[in-house]
């Protein structure tokens, strides 16, 4: 050990460490720092005794308080379940209109419906219910089967062409495939359908023929002027909203192969409160009637 060296300017002893001529002063640690340091050591000792802390070979020290985060979470989840069950019980007995009119129930139904929609409906109808080809947009005010709370509730409960005995049902015949109309007739009526919503038609289109074919084959479901029919799920052909697309090819294809989109029934898969919540949620998406 080198003998103690005193810094000439400050008069404080140095540690003897030197870097490029700079020497470190051996100042004592500040009191406050030292006491904080002792306090943390004392705190850790207390913590080891009270709380789970040290890992053992197959277990860990549990501490005399026996605290467990897992137990706390289980307790919180239980409390949440109880709260949900209580809210749910209100909804189970309430009419859809009353749920919608009561802010407390509405809030619960919307949160519940939104979650259930994401889990069960979004794969087909899109995350925000915007739909896709063959899967209707649930945000607009155009409804194939009806947009009142009760209509939507029924659609969700029993589905569409789902095989459920109360399912909504109505199939469009495969006019082309089954030889009910030949290719020229299909083309003519497809052009006529496009003309119903003001879309451009082929210059060679025979609209008079198309109209006759329409009146004979299509009006029974789609209505005399193409306004659609909810009883059989025949879409409105006069508006700019299309389930399968508005191009001439898409319409010709539809007339050739007919139609029958399937939506599953949910009455056996989801509980009644969730289905009610979904009806209220879908109704609120933007286009409820």
- The binding site for heme c comprises 121, 124-125, 172, 218, 221-222, 263
Question: What tokens were used for 88?
Answer: 């749910």
Nearest to ligand HEC of 16, 134 (CB atom): 134
Single residue of 174, 217, 223, 227 touching ligand HEC by CB under 6 A: 217
Single residue of 260, 272, 286, 289 touching ligand HEC by CB under 6 A: 260
Single residue of 115, 124, 257, 284 touching ligand HEC by CB under 6 A: 124
Single residue of 91, 106, 108, 175 touching ligand HEC by CB under 6 A: 175
Contact characters 219-258, ligand HEC, x per CB under 6 A: -xxx---------xxxx-x----xxx------x--xx---
- SS3 annotation, 203-215: CCCCHHHHHHHHH
- Cβ neighbors of 180 (< 8 A, separation 6 or more) are 173, 174, 217
CA–CA separation, 102 and 66 (whole Å): 44
Q: Is 53 left (phi over 0), alpha (psi -120 to 50) or beta?
A: alpha
H helices of the chain, where?
Answer: 31-50, 69-93, 96-101, 103-120, 122-125, 149-158, 183-196, 207-217, 219-222, 248-257, 272-284
Q: Is 167 in the site for ligand HEC (CB under 6 A)?
A: no
Residues that bind ligand HEC (CB under 6 A): 120-121, 123-125, 134-136, 138, 143-146, 152, 155-156, 160, 170, 172-173, 175, 189, 193, 217-218, 220-222, 232-235, 237, 242-244, 251, 254-255, 259-264, 266, 278, 282
């Amino acid at each position: 050990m080198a003998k103690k060296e005193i810094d000439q300017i400050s008069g404080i002893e140095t540690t003897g460490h030197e870097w490029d001529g700079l020497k470190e002063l051996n100042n004592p640690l500040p009191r406050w720092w030292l006491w904080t340091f002792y306090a943390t050591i004392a705190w850790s000792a207390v913590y080891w005794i009270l709380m789970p802390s040290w890992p053992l070979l197959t277990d860990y020290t549990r501490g005399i308080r026996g605290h467990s985060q897992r137990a706390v979470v289980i307790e919180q989840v239980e409390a949440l379940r109880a709260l949900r069950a209580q809210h749910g019980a209100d909804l189970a007995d309430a009419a859809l209109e009353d749920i919608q009119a009561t802010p407390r129930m509405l809030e619960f139904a919307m949160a519940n419906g939104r979650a259930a929609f994401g889990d069960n409906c979004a794969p087909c109808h899109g995350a925000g219910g915007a739909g896709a080809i063959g899967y209707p947009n649930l945000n607009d005010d155009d409804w194939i089967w009806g947009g009142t709370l009760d209509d939507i509730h029924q659609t969700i409960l029993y589905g569409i062409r789902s095989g459920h005995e109360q399912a909504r049902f109505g199939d469009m015949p495969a006019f082309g495939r089954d030889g009910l109309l030949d290719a020229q007739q299909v083309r003519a009526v497809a052009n006529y359908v496009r003309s119903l919503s003001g879309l451009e038609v082929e210059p060679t289109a025979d609209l008079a023929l198309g109209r006759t074919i329409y009146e004979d084959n299509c009006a029974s479901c789609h209505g005399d002027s193409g306004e659609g029919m909810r009883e059989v799920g025949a879409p409105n052909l006069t508006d700019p909203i299309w389930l399968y697309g508005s191009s001439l090819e898409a319409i010709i294809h539809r007339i050739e192969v007919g139609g029958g989109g399937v939506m599953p029934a949910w009455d056996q898969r989801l509980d009644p409160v969730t289905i009610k919540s979904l009806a209220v949620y879908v109704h609120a998406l933007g286009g409820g009637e």
